[in-house]
Structure 1
Amino acid sequence: MKTILVAFRVTDLDRSLEFYTALGYVVLGRVPGDNSCLVLLKFPEEPAATFELVHRPDDGPVDVGSGFDHLALQVDNLADTLERLTKAGLEPGPLEHPGGPDGPKTSWLTDPDGYRIELVQWPPTLPDGITAATFA
């Protein structure tokens, strides 16, 4: 088995698409339905969809406070990413070092519906992120 994608239900599809394309996602395709629309997204270097926006306006506003915590995205250079996102009109938080100066670098931002997104730059000692070797 493998994880295929993560799906977020969104209140305003256009507003969410503007946010996620500014973040770097590209639209792979749309699946329209009766009073709904699914939009499949991926980063340019990914071979397949990894993220889905689910728009069902008849379900009312989105409530992200019911158990969801955050989505984590790996970046190559966090300082460059923060600069690019700020120029694109997004508002990422400051660069943080939660594991100390030799640990990962992180920053947080929030999408239009309140979903929290963690941007992570792994240190050279964790080139592939968190793996089984991390816990060995």
Structure 2
Amino acid sequence: MRTLHIGLRVADADRAAAFYAAVGYEVVGRVPDSPAGQLTMLKLPDDELVALELVHDPAAGAGQHRGSGLSHLVIQVDAMDLSVAALRARGIEVAEPRSPNGSDDFLTSWITDPDGNRIELVQWPPGHAVGLTAADWA
């Protein structure tokens, strides 16, 4: 088994798609009418598969777009300083990067989408696996 993608409830499909495009995601496709609402499928340029599905239900009240139980998404970046600069140039607020272990090459930062979903940016140290593995807790 593997995770296919994350579905995020959003209040405004176009606003959310524009935010994620500014982060670097590409729109792969759209489903204008599904039982869940309007769907927008996104992926990052280096990903082969869809990673995010923006779900907009025009019939839902504003209160139904938050509190879905999502904690946060995580996006790996190659160079934190370049990524932070690019996001800020696109008008996205980015928290100052910090290192969970005090090193200069393992960095994290945070951004928030227009619907309040938190996104963690991670720069792994050289040689680290692409994702988390059991070795991270050894």
Per-residue deviation at 1:125? Answer: 5.0
| 1:109-128 equivalences in 2 (<5 Å) | 109-128=111-130
2:30, 2:129 → 1: CA distance?
34
Moved more, 94-103 or 38-47: 94-103
What is the match of residue 48 of structure 1? 49
What is the match of residue 9 of structure 2? 9
2:28, 2:34 → 1: CA distance?
20
2:65, 2:98 → 1: CA distance?
27
| Number of residue-to-residue matches in the alignment | 136
Q: Secondary structure at the match of 2:59?
A: helix
Q: What is the percentage of aligned positions where both structures have the same residue? A: 46
Moved more, 26-35 or 114-123: 26-35
Per-residue deviation at 1:126? Answer: 2.2
Per-residue deviation at 1:110? Answer: 0.5
| 1:76-115 equivalences in 2 (<5 Å) | 76-101=78-103, 104-115=106-117
Per-residue deviation at 1:85? Answer: 0.4
1:135, 1:31 → 2: CA distance?
40
2:69, 2:102 → 1: CA distance?
28
2:119, 2:106 → 1: CA distance?
15
Instruction: Tell me the alpha carbon deviations over residues 49-100 of structure 1, each in whole angstroms, 9 at most, x when there is no partner.
Output: 1110001021111443453211111110011000000111111111111221
Give the conservation status (yes or no) of the 8 Å contact 2:105–2:123. Answer: no
Per-residue deviation at 1:34? Answer: 6.2
TM-score normalised by L of structure 2: 0.89
Q: Secondary structure at the match of 2:22?
A: helix
Amino acid at match of 1:21: A
1:127, 1:70 → 2: CA distance?
20
Q: Secondary structure at the match of 1:59?
A: coil
2:95, 2:49 → 1: CA distance?
29
What are structure 2's unaligned runs of at least 5 residues?
none
What are structure 1's unaligned runs of at least 5 residues?
none
1:27, 1:102 → 2: CA distance?
33
TM-score normalised by L of structure 1: 0.90
Give the conservation status (yes or no) of the 8 Å contact 2:9–2:68. Answer: no
Q: Secondary structure at the match of 1:20?
A: helix
Amino acid at match of 2:2: K
